[in-house]
Amino acid sequence: MTNPLLAPWDAPFALPPFAAIADDDFAPAFAAALAEARARIAAIAADPAPPDFANTVAALETAEETLDRVAGVFFNLAATDANPAREALQRDLAPRLAAFRSEVLMNPALWARVRAVEEAAEAAGLSAEQRRLVTLTARMFRRAGAELEGAAAGRFRQLAERMASLGTAFAQNLLADERDWALPLEPGDLAGLPGDLVGTLAAAAAERGREGHVLTLARSVVVPFLTHSPRRDLRERAFRAWTARGAGGGATDNRAIAAEMLALRAEKARLLGFPSYAAFRLAPEMAGTPDAVRNLLMRVWGPARARAEAEAAALTRLLHADGINGRLEPWDWRFYAERRRRAEFAIDEAEVKPFLSLEAMVAAAFDVAGRLFGLSFRPLDVALHHPDARAWEVRRGGRHMAVFLGDWFARPGKRSGAWCSTFRGQRRHGGERRPVVLNVCNFARPAAGAPALLSWDDARTLFHEFGHALHHILSDVTYGFLAGTSVARDFVELPSQLFEHWLEVPQVLDRHARHAASGAPMPADLRDRLIAARNADTGFATVEYLASALVDLAFHEGTPPADPVAQEAAVLAGIGMPPAIVPRHAAPHFAHVFAGEGYAAGYYSYLWSEVMDADAFAAFEEAGDPFDAQTAARLERHILSAGNSAEPQALYAAFRGRMPGVEALLRGRGLGEAA
């Protein structure tokens, strides 16, 4: 029988044939796809014709098409619906794919051809996009060790394979810790919890084949529990389990993996001539250097810490008023911050959530995209990768733009967090190809028959990930290597963080924030109080993020630590970390940094992008309309459709006319400048 992963895909919009794919299909599909890719790349490297853009750089664009197609299906399934077979194959594939990548990018004959095209690019009559592709392709080869020889080249290959295996192990260990921990709750333990959270805890128990109610380590479950449970003992137990992920001392302990990963990254950077891994990673980013990153982080750290210390003092007073004479602990913060928010802004999350149903917030995100960019969304009835997932065709006028998939609920076997990925990216080279884009979240699953209700932070996460999706949906470049989110790490968060701003636009809430039961609109007074409270607890939120970003930077500068947890503690002591706040991600569960290299030495990028997103939304405010057509057109032309077709500084300046300063960010977070 023909392997469905390798046969032509005749589902609507050439979607993967999910219903026909079995786990046993993946290994032979990868074997065939790798063989095909090797043959195509060997033909490019051995081409007797003189190297030029078409026969070398453009040819590489489509050389691995089948491999990309198979990998797109497999790795999306492995992240959203892991099982033992998929995890075993992922462990096997990680070093094999890393070895293949080194085989391609360290191929002397292929590198010689790419270098020749690079040297002749200015005189070759290439378009600006083609020259950009040449530049980035050559840079990719250099940063992957193409210029290394002899023992150094061999060691570089070994490092790549080992780091791929370590990243996979880190992610799988973290998933196992999150999947395997569950705290059964007695009826008395539910006192004080909102009804929707009680329903979620019942759904979590049912999902695990248990009676009653179960607390899990899904963020969308444990954070509401920490926010609402009056049981300090249970809050402490849940918090300690949540922050101990990856550090349990058994087979899933990630501490040794993190230490080895840091040592190997430092060695990789030295082989390439960089003084540190941070210097290596930041060289092609907007920030450019570790010093530039530190300067931004520390400029915000001072006012953020001052704000957090004031918040801690206010929460401590509430703690003592409850007759608890000890200090404010990390498992107390969210509970008393919610109480303070109710007192100061007359906002109760239980009052807000019924107006923020998942259905309403999806409709709101689609409506904003329609008003800004003329997009429409038509539901599709097609087989998908999981029963939870849903699909829409995205159109503009009579043109098909993309297929958008949403997979929003937490479940066992699903990686924690929220992200955007693709099953297929956009390109025009080799024929018009429109993207298939996936948004993944981990919202709490409601009880059977009940609507899914989101917190304000959940709704912001939905808008954030949809901003990433728009970067893919509106992508309009010739070459897939440049498409969508294939941009500098500290630029990639600009579209996502910018889109969050529309959640707070009164017209959006007035139209879409409707009570899940009655359909009544959110009262204007509640809406205004909700927006006014946007910076409640902003000191806490900024400090927990900045602490992780500063630790990440320290991990990747200088001598790699033998004990990352000890170095993390030293960094936190050095910056004066408030004792009632812990970093958003401790080293043993810092998946951004250790489950691959995606955000390694790059966790700062959310703040770097926020400098731009605050300034970018100000362009709409200056136009007097959050849906100003001319500003939206500039945003699409220079940011959302442009991918990596030019340097990010040039793209942003083309949209805004200049680069921004940090002032808009500080204003947006309600922080004054440091003294």
Q: 524-555 pLDDT, tens per residue?
A: 999 999 999 888 899 999 999 999 999 999 99
> Residue 357 has what DSSP assignment?
B
2 part of a folded domain:
no
264 part of a folded domain:
no
Q: Residue 399, Cβ neighbours under 10 Å: how many?
A: 9
Final residue in a domain of this structure, among 122, 145, 175: 175
In angstroms, the CA 555 to CA 312 distance is 28
* Mean pLDDT, range 209-236, rounded to an integer: 95
- pLDDT-based confidence at residue 311 (cuts at 50, 70, 90): very high
> Residue 636 has what DSSP assignment?
I
* Amino acid symbol at 625: D
**Block residue for tokens 């001392």:** 249
Q: What b/e readout covers 163-195, taking b as 16+ CB neighbours within 10 angstroms?
A: bbbbbbbbbbbbbbbbbebbbebeeebbeebbe
Same domain, 505 and 526: yes
- pLDDT-based confidence at residue 258 (cuts at 50, 70, 90): very high
Same domain, 30 and 79: yes
Would you state the pLDDT for residue 674?
Answer: 36
254 part of a folded domain:
no
- pLDDT-based confidence at residue 670 (cuts at 50, 70, 90): confident
Would you state the pLDDT for residue 429?
Answer: 96
Final residue in a domain of this structure, among 175, 204, 231: 175
How does pLDDT run across 608-618, given as a tens digit for each residue?
Answer: 999 999 999 99
Sheet (strand 376-380) strand order = 376-380, 390-396, 399-409, 436-443, 419-424
CA nearest to 379, candidates 408, 404, 407, 409 = 404
Among 435-444, 446-455, 581-590, which stretch is predicted with the lowest mean pLDDT? 446-455
Same domain, 383 and 523: yes
Q: Is the pLDDT of residue 675 over 70?
A: no
* Mean pLDDT, range 445-466, rounded to an integer: 94
Task: Find the DSSP H helices in 387-473.
Answer: 456-473
Same domain, 434 and 524: yes
In angstroms, the CA 483 to CA 592 distance is 22
Across the chain, what does the average pLDDT equal?
Answer: 96
Beta-bridged to residue 440, according to DSSP, are: 407, 419
Final residue in a domain of this structure, among 175, 206, 235: 175
Three-point CA angle 36, 39, 42, nearest 5°:
150
Burial class of residue 39 (count of CB atoms within 10 Å of its CB; 0-12, 13-18, 19+):
exposed
CA nearest to 497, candidates 608, 390, 577 = 608
272 part of a folded domain:
no
In angstroms, the CA 180 to CA 266 distance is 33
Same domain, 581 and 646: yes
Q: Which tokens sit at 601?
A: 């030495």
Query: For 384, left (φ over 0), alpha (ψ -120 to 50), or beta?
Result: beta
* Mean pLDDT, range 424-428, rounded to an integer: 97
The H-or-E segment that residue 617 falls in is helix 605-623
Same domain, 375 and 520: yes
Same domain, 632 and 608: yes
Same domain, 361 and 298: no
Would you state the pLDDT for residue 664?
Answer: 84
Burial class of residue 150 (count of CB atoms within 10 Å of its CB; 0-12, 13-18, 19+):
exposed
607 part of a folded domain:
yes
Domain that holds residue 112: 12-175
Same domain, 337 and 368: no
* Mean pLDDT, range 8-31, rounded to an integer: 96
Q: Which tokens sit at 655?
A: 């949209």
Residue 618 makes CB contacts below 8 A (sequence gap 6+) with 664
As for how many domains the chain has, the answer is: 4
How does pLDDT run across 622-638, given as a tens digit for each residue?
Answer: 999 999 999 999 999 99
Same domain, 487 and 577: no
506 part of a folded domain:
yes
Greater pLDDT, 63 or 669? 63
Same domain, 516 and 597: no
> To the nearest whole percent, how much of the chain has pLDDT over 70?
99
Would you state the pLDDT for residue 252?
Answer: 97
How does pLDDT run across 329-351, given as a tens digit for each residue?
Answer: 999 999 999 999 999 999 888 88
CA nearest to 478, candidates 143, 139, 126 = 126
Active-site residue numbers?
Answer: 465
Would you state the pLDDT for residue 663?
Answer: 86
Strands 436-443 and 399-409 come out as parallel
Backbone φ and ψ of 182, nearest 5° = -155, 135
In angstroms, the CA 191 to CA 203 distance is 17
In angstroms, the CA 33 to CA 6 distance is 8
> Residue 424 has what DSSP assignment?
E
334 part of a folded domain:
yes
In angstroms, the CA 255 to CA 263 distance is 13
Would you state the pLDDT for residue 357?
Answer: 97
The sign of the CA dihedral 454, 456, 462, 465 is negative
pTM tops 0.85: yes
- 319, 479 Cβ separation under 8 angstroms: no
CATH number reported for the structural domain that contains residue 658 in this entry: 1.10.1370.10
Would you state the pLDDT for residue 534?
Answer: 86
- 555, 263 Cβ separation under 8 angstroms: no
674 part of a folded domain:
no
Would you state the pLDDT for residue 673?
Answer: 47
Same domain, 541 and 617: yes
Q: Which string of DSSP letters, residue by residue, matches 484-516?
A: TT-S-HHHHHHHHHHHHGGGG-HHHHHHH-B-T
CATH number reported for the structural domain that contains residue 26 in this entry: 1.10.1370.40
Beta-bridged to residue 376, according to DSSP, are: 395
